[in-house]
Structure 1
Amino acid sequence: MLPERLKTLRLEAKMTQKEIAEKQGISQQAYAQFEQGKSIPNTKRLQAFSDFFNVSTDYLLGNTDIKSKTLETDLNKTLDNVRSFDGKPITDADRETIREILKRRQQEREQKEIK
């Protein structure tokens, strides 16, 4: 998933591999290997890509389809602070269900924006 996400984000930014590599302080060949899946970035480099493209590391790794760092962070903070609904405690399973529903809704919104 990471190689595809890196390439897609680079193309969306209308940048070449060389331009990304220069901004990241690595060689174009090293960056190309990340996009081709021949090499895996270490944690520090992954975070640098995340910061550069303004997406979460979870998005880069394919753990979520939500690009926005702040949306994912806000969603997690909000759900972690919810304790009850209608006078009944919310379980961890409930929180995860709500999280998945909201993520799906965000994906639908993003798809509509693309069309």
Structure 2
Amino acid sequence: MTMAEKYDRIRNLREDADLTQAELGKQINVPQRTYAYYENGERMIPPQVLVALARFHHVSIDYLLGLTDQKAPYPQKKNT
């Protein structure tokens, strides 16, 4: 998977959720302009933003990074 395809994956998830960059940025506490830089590949996405995106979209970080095509996140540990 190319870098462009990875950034397209993040854009597609946002568009599938019918959100603007500003709306999604607000959900994950990132300014719209910064989020646009991430989608356009102009800035590296920090780990904490990857976590926020994965949680928001209910996908794994591996999916966001293009390491797998499986969207489902890993099962959460249960407190016993």
Query: What is the root-mean-square deviation in Å for CA atoms of aligned residues?
Result: 1.1
Q: Structure 2 residue aligned with 1:25, among 14, 20, 29?
A: 29
Identical-pair percentage: 35
Q: Structure 1 residue aligned with 2:14, among 10, 15, 24?
A: 10
Where relative contact order (Cα < 8 A, 6+ residues apart) is larger, the structure is 2
Work out the number of aligned pairs and report it.
71
Q: Which has the higher helix share?
A: 1
Deviation, structure 1 residue 3 = 1.1
Runs of 4+ in 1 over 6 A off after TM superposition: none
Correspondences of 1:1-115 after superposition (within 5 Å): 1-70=5-74, 73=75
Q: Where does structure 1 lack aligned partners over 5 or more consecutive residues?
A: 74-115
Answer with 1 or 2: which has the greater Rg. Answer: 1
Q: TM-score, normalised by structure 1?
A: 0.58
Q: Where does structure 2 lack aligned partners over 5 or more consecutive residues?
A: 76-80
Q: TM-score, normalised by structure 2?
A: 0.82
